[in-house]
Structure 1
């Protein structure tokens, strides 16, 4: 018996097929949202007279009108939006790159998962190609998760420098490694599972 004929009969059920197609449609929408959002944010930063930048603060005291009758109350800032009429050149480049990195990483992850879903619809889950797709999706997600906040921090520091003429020192770049370690572990486990599944399926087909 032809091994290909065996794998061809292992097609997903109708309910699974509907679910996979729904996942693929949602994935396409996510990519469109990421790309359009990135283009709009880049366009706004390059053309708007005022640039809006999200910045993190290191225990900076401030006041907010949250008391009785709108009275100011002392608070401690954790993060806030800064508004500046202009960003330094390197920070503007970092802003554009951060949006591109976000859109590209999202598109890469979703594209790999869509190709994996298409392969599943054809009844082929474990294969060398699918193992590479899983590994690529995980790597793209990890790279994007690291690059985007790093570049965003450069943008925020440029906004701080522009607003305060370099007098306000709020350089803050805190990185919690545990989520990245856990994410890398999950990616490694899933990739390994697909690699093992590929070998088992290949061995099973060899016995038919």
Structure 2
């Protein structure tokens, strides 16, 4: 008599439940990000005044943090500028920034949701999953670099409008720590899935 042993699942019941929760959270994050981006674009296009996040190069400012609210000089690193007449270039920079944010989050989360669905079906390593990991990693890397770039462009235009180009605070900041971290994680995940897919195909060829 031959006894057939059912194939062993890649994930336990608890792992599957955790993965489903992460998929729901990812979908909620996507919806929230898209809604927030749309609201920001609508606000920029319709509001009489627009708030722009700006970074400073240690610019001195006075803050009411002394005794009884006395002014104390501090080094200003970030602030929110409010303008009633934002330059067109800054306006489009904010719109492009928000569109890229929404598209980037949708792309990354969609890839991860498709990957999670494949894992739930006990298909972990495959060429399709490797492509999904590569697309998600590359999109995240580009997003980390592009989002602050357009934010800086918007802020620099706001500075020029407020000071009539007399305040020189042109900054193009990039969070290299986040950039390298995303690049490392993306490269590591891509390598793991690439090697896993190769080993799985080689193993299948031996059977």
The bucket for the TM-score relative to the shorter chain is over 0.9
Aligned to 1:138: 137
**Contact kept in structure 2, 1:7 and 1:123, CA below 8 Å:** no
Q: How many residues align?
A: 203
**Contact kept in structure 1, 2:140 and 2:182, CA below 8 Å:** no
Matched, 1:203 2:202: yes
Q: Deviations for 1:115-137, whole angstroms, at most 9, x for unmatched residues? A: 00000000000000000000100
Residues 7 and 125 of structure 1: is their aligned pair in 2 closer, same or farther, counting only changes over 3 Å? farther
Q: Secondary structure at the match of 1:83?
A: strand
**Contact kept in structure 1, 2:91 and 2:154, CA below 8 Å:** yes
Return the offset for 1:165: 1.5
How does 1:47-126 map onto structure 2 within 5 Å?
Answer: 47-126=46-125
Q: Secondary structure at the match of 1:77?
A: strand
Aligned to 2:170: 171
**Contact kept in structure 2, 1:7 and 1:124, CA below 8 Å:** no
Matched, 1:157 2:167: no
Gaps in structure 2 of 5+ consecutive residues: none
Which structure has more RCO (C-alpha within 8 Å, separation ≥ 6)? 1
Return the offset for 1:180: 2.2
Q: Distance in 2 between matches of 1:52 and 1:179?
A: 25
Q: Distance in 1 between matches of 2:109 and 2:21?
A: 13
Return the offset for 1:11: 4.3
Aligned to 1:3: none
Q: Deviations for 1:122-175, whole angstroms, at most 9, x for unmatched residues? A: 000000000000010000000011111000001001111111112111101133
**Contact kept in structure 2, 1:153 and 1:173, CA below 8 Å:** yes
**Contact kept in structure 2, 1:94 and 1:154, CA below 8 Å:** yes
Residues 16 and 169 of structure 1: is their aligned pair in 2 closer, same or farther, counting only changes over 3 Å? same
Matched, 1:32 2:31: yes
